[in-house]
Amino acid sequence: MDQEQEFYNRGLEKALAGDFAGAVREFDRVLRINPQLIEAYYKRGRCRFELGDRTGAIADYNQALQLQPERTEIYLSRGLTKLALKDNAGALADAEQTLKLNNNLAPAYSLQGTALRRLGNLAEAIVSFKQAANIYLAEKDKQNCQRCIDSITEIQAEQNRAQAALATHTGFYYQVLQKVQRGKLTEAWEDLNWLIQADPNDAQAHSYRGMVLSKLGYYQQAINDLNQALQLNPQILQAYCYRAMVRMEMGDYGGAINDCNQALQIDPSYIDVYIYRGKAHHKSANHRLAIEDYSRVIQEKSDDPQAYYQRAVARLDFEDLPGAIEDYQQAANIYFNRGDWQQYREILDQIKKVQSRPRRYQRKNSADFFSPSNSTSLSELQNQLIRMVGGYRDIADRLVDIARYKYPGMPEEWYWEKAIQDLERDR
């Protein structure tokens, strides 16, 4: 027996004994002697798969198929390895290539069914599993036949759940939007893929998927989905808003404004459009029009902190520093009343940054603000205000800083008592 055969046989023995690492070493020796031995590549690939080296296994199967491209068992092994690597499209291609070579192989149909199922092609997956079950039955392989039947039953249950979800689109969309809000964008995208596969003419699903794709950074794919949504339903206002948002991300501010204008032609009362158009005007450096759009939102939704915040930013660029401060403070008050301390503190920080800018405008002092009691010490006032803002000293300091900016030249106790009275009034 020559060395090549001896190493090969030892590799087989070690593989059968479960010593896959030892088997790989023996097949390495074989291939150093004869790098054209297909069986050694194939067997080494099987051992590498068992060791968890999926990439190494693929490389061995590729090498074997280059030497002999009509070996069905190698395509099957490579397809199963691709499944393990979640390359479902690659696994499907290997299954289909196997069936071209031999259309009576149950494992190939089973592999095809698994790949189709993972890709969401449930009806086609059932056909593949049925074909595999029939062949296994003819071969009297009851165990694998039953496994295919079980897969069919599971897929049919998935289809039933899908039909139930399609019957209640509103609930389905609500779940998708909840996932978006929690940052589970990939899950939301997969849900919408499935829904569109079930109903390709669902304009709302295309609109939501466009929004999710934009959040994932796939702007051109998002535009394609939103175009499809509007082609299916030109009256879907939400899609115009989402497309405007994507176009802004792509720097197409004129296109974003046009989208908003189209939405407003359909429904001038759709107030959310003004937020998007305001942002587009602002990015186009047309701050006056941006302020007008945000003001329109505030007229209709006076408790919208984002509208005040966006108008504050536009007013800053419009060099209306007092107006910007007022809008920031209004947004902060809304967040304060809602108990949203994170947003509240962030806006107070922004106010402080703005106040550090050189002043072009100066408020006049007023004598009729309120009359301080003069009966409470500074430390008592400080403790009272800090308690009122939940123990956050930095928030209390910001409120006093705002009072100092608005009304310069007053005593320190006056500012603390003014901040206390403002909070009590706003509550």
Tens of pLDDT, residue by residue over 133-158, are: 999 989 999 899 999 999 999 988 87
Count of domains forming the chain? 3
Q: Closest by alpha carbon to 338, among 370, 386, 306, 381? A: 306
Q: Is the pLDDT of residue 247 over 90?
A: yes
- Same domain, yes or no: 50 and 178: no
- Choosing from 122, 143, 164, the residue where a domain stops is 164
Asked whether 189 and 222 are in contact (CB, 8 A), the reply is no
User: pLDDT by residue (tens digit) across 28-65?
Assistant: 999 999 999 999 999 999 999 999 999 999 999 999 99
Q: Closest by alpha carbon to 322, among 276, 283, 359? A: 359
pLDDT of residue 365: 39
DSSP state of 367: S
User: pLDDT by residue (tens digit) across 209-228?
Assistant: 999 999 999 999 999 999 99
Q: How many Cα atoms within 13 Å fall on the side-chain side of residue 42?
A: 17
- Same domain, yes or no: 152 and 208: no
Enclosing domain of residue 386: 373-427
pLDDT of residue 285: 87
Q: Does residue 125 lie within any of the structural domains?
A: yes
Q: Does residue 266 lie within any of the structural domains?
A: yes
- Same domain, yes or no: 280 and 309: yes
Q: Closest by alpha carbon to 73, among 117, 26, 21, 111? A: 111
Asked whether 205 and 195 are in contact (CB, 8 A), the reply is yes
- Same domain, yes or no: 233 and 347: yes
Asked whether 117 and 155 are in contact (CB, 8 A), the reply is yes
Instruction: Name which of 106-120, 140-154, 230-244, 345-359 the model is least confident about.
Output: 345-359
The residue among 3 and 66 whose pLDDT is bigger is 66
Residue 119, C-beta contacts closer than 8 angstroms, at least 6 positions apart: 88, 89, 92
Asked whether 211 and 249 are in contact (CB, 8 A), the reply is no
Q: Is the pTM of this model over 0.85?
A: no
Which tokens is 218 given? 């796939």
The residue among 244 and 401 whose pLDDT is bigger is 244
pLDDT of residue 413: 85
- Choosing from 118, 134, 164, the residue where a domain stops is 164
Q: What is the CATH number of the domain that holds 338?
A: 1.25.40.10
Q: Which amino acid, one-letter code, is at 360?
A: R
- Same domain, yes or no: 427 and 309: no
Q: Does residue 119 lie within any of the structural domains?
A: yes
- Same domain, yes or no: 346 and 210: yes
Q: Does residue 394 lie within any of the structural domains?
A: yes
Asked whether 10 and 26 are in contact (CB, 8 A), the reply is yes
Whole-angstrom Cα distance, residue 169 to residue 161? 13
- Same domain, yes or no: 152 and 235: no
Whole-angstrom Cα distance, residue 179 to residue 217? 17
